Amino acid sequence: MIAALILVILLVLVTGYFIGIYNGLVRVRAEVKLAWSNIDVLLVQRHDELPKLVETCRQYLQYEQQTLERVMQARSAVASARASGSVTAVGAAESGLRSGLAGLFAVAERYPDLKANEAFQHLQQRITGLEQAIADRREIYNEAVNINNVRIAAFPDVLIATRYDFEPAHLLKFDAAQKADVDMKAEFAH
C-alpha cells in the first residue's frame, strides 16, 4: 500500500515536472513570436512613412531620381521579405533599406531648401526614431530567440522539445558589411 502511494506521488511529481517543462517551452516560443510581432509593427510604420519621405524629397531632388528609386526598391524588398516570413530575408532587405535611407539623407544635405522643409524634417526624425526602435526591438527579439534555442537544446527540455516539434528560431542579424557606416564621401560623389 505504501509502495503504491509512493509510486503514485512519484508519478504525479514527474508528470508535473514535464508539464512545467512543456509550458515553459510554449512560453518562450510565444515570447519569440511577440518580440517579432513588435518588430513587424515598427517595420509597417516605417514602410508607411517612406513614400511620404520620397514624395517630399522628389520635389527638391530632381536630379537624384536614382537615390529615390533605390529607397523605394529597398522598401519593396523589405515588404516581400516580411511577406515570406523569413527572418534572414528580412535582415538582408533591412540592410539594403538602411543603406538607401542613409544615402538619401546624405544627398539631402546638398539641398538646403529640402533640409529646411518642415515635412522633410518631421519625416526624417520619424524614420530615424523608428530605425532606433527597430534596433532596440531587434535586441529584445534576439534575446528571446537565444532563450528559446537554449531551452530546446538543453536537457531535459530537449526531450519534450523534440517530441512536440519545438523548432529553433532564427536570429535577426546583419552582415558586418551591412552594419558598417555608410561611406558618405561616396554618397556625395554623385
What nine digits make up the cell of 147? 532563450
Mean pLDDT along residues 100-129: 87
Which among 54, 147, 145 is positioned nearest to 101, based on CA atoms?
Answer: 54
Query: How distant, in Å, are the alpha carbons of 37, 53, 54, 78, 90 from that of 65?
Result: 33, 13, 10, 20, 25
pLDDT at 189 over 70: no
How long, in residues, is the chain?
190
Q: How confident is the model at residue 63 (pLDDT cuts 50, 70, 90)?
A: low
pLDDT of 59 higher than 70: yes
Q: Are 40 and 94 in contact (CB under 8 A)?
A: no
Residue among 35, 40, 36 nearest 130 (CA): 40
Computed over every residue of the chain, the mean pLDDT equals 86
Please report, for residues 20, 65, 122, 158, the alpha-carbon distance to residue 15 in angstroms, rounded to integers and kept in the order given: 9, 65, 57, 16
- Using the predicted structure, report yes or no on whether residue 178 has a pLDDT greater than 60: no
Domain range list for the chain = 2-188
- What CATH superfamily is the domain 2-188? LemA-like domain (1.20.1440.20)
The tens digit of pLDDT for each residue in 119-141 reads 888 999 999 999 899 989 999 99
| Residue 49, φ and ψ in degrees, nearest 5 | -85, -25
The answer to whether 22 and 164 have CB atoms below 8 angstroms apart is: yes
The reported pTM is 0.77
